[in-house]
A and B are shown apart, each in its own frame.
Chain A
Amino acid sequence: GIQVEQSPPDLILQEGANSTLRCNFSDSVNNLQWFHQNPWGQLINLFYIPSGTKQNGRLSATTVATERYSLLYISSSQTTDSGVYFCAVIFTGGGNKLTFGTGTQLKVEL
């Protein structure tokens, strides 16, 4: 069925380390977004990236739509990067709704 899978489910890093989070999706998409959920529950926009590569400071993302995956790179991680990272997509022909992955729980330690 239509689904979004994220890996790894959990990740523990030392401050300063780099990491790659992966999002696989089962069908073609019109929209792909990466979010960071803060401790109070709000989803913070990181990238709107249905295809291509974008960078924003220490974060960058790449979506290869033809191969149905997206990657989020975090470099020189900081403790404030801790939290849950979600990938969400709008599948082509699937209505105007975001389908979320199960998230990656990231913990950055000193």
Chain B
Amino acid sequence: KAGVTQTPRYLIKTRGQQVTLSCSPISGHRSVSWYQQTPGQGLQFLFEYFSETQRNKGNFPGRFSGRQFSNSRSEMNVSTLELGDSALYLCASSFTGLTEAFFGQGTRLTVV
């Protein structure tokens, strides 16, 4: 079966712009989580959605937001981009949020 699909794979944006990343989970998975990976901070949890509801949120500013659609696909948005937002953004899906998580290939965002 198809894995977790993230689009786009690479993005270059300018400071102050906004960006939207997309994640399509494995069929049947209702939980989608987002993580940010940077060399300095490692892998950090952004937020988790289940059945279109945000259940958990990490310690990130309000510029980071997300949503989940009825087909479980999720998007995350970062507004007013800063240089420090340059990172690899990873999406994970699982059946319930507590079961085994599977990750997409990630979106590498560069802010210039």
Contacts and interface: CB of A to CB of B under 8 A. Distances in A.
For this complex, into which size category does the number of interface residues on chain B fall?
A: 20 to 34
B31 A42 contact: no
A75 interface: no
Contact of B106 (A42, A48, A96, A97): A42
Contacts of A103: 42
Contact of B98 (A43, A88, A96, A99): A96
Given A41-B88, A103-B42, A98 B104 contact: no
A98 B7 CA distance: 22
The binding surface of chain A is classed by DSSP as strand
Of B31, B50, B90, B96, chain A has the most CB atoms within 10 Å of the CB of B90
The binding surface of chain B is classed by DSSP as strand
Given A40-B105, A41-B108, A103-B42, A97 B100 contact: no
Interface in B74-108: 88, 90, 92, 96-106, 108
B37 interface: yes
Interface string B24-51: 0000000101010100001111001010
A55 interface: no
A76 interface: no
Contacts of B42: 100, 102-103
Given A86-B43, A96-B55, A97-B45, A42 B104 contact: yes
Contact of A45 (B33, B56, B98, B102): B102
Nearest to B102: A45
20 contacts: A31-B100, A31-B101, A33-B100, A40-B106, A41-B90, A41-B106, A43-B90, A43-B92, A45-B100, A48-B100, A88-B101, A95-B48, A95-B55, A96-B31, A96-B33, A96-B96, A97-B45, A97-B58, A98-B35, A100-B44
Interface of B: 31, 33, 35, 37, 42-45, 48, 50, 55-56, 58, 88, 90, 92, 96-106, 108
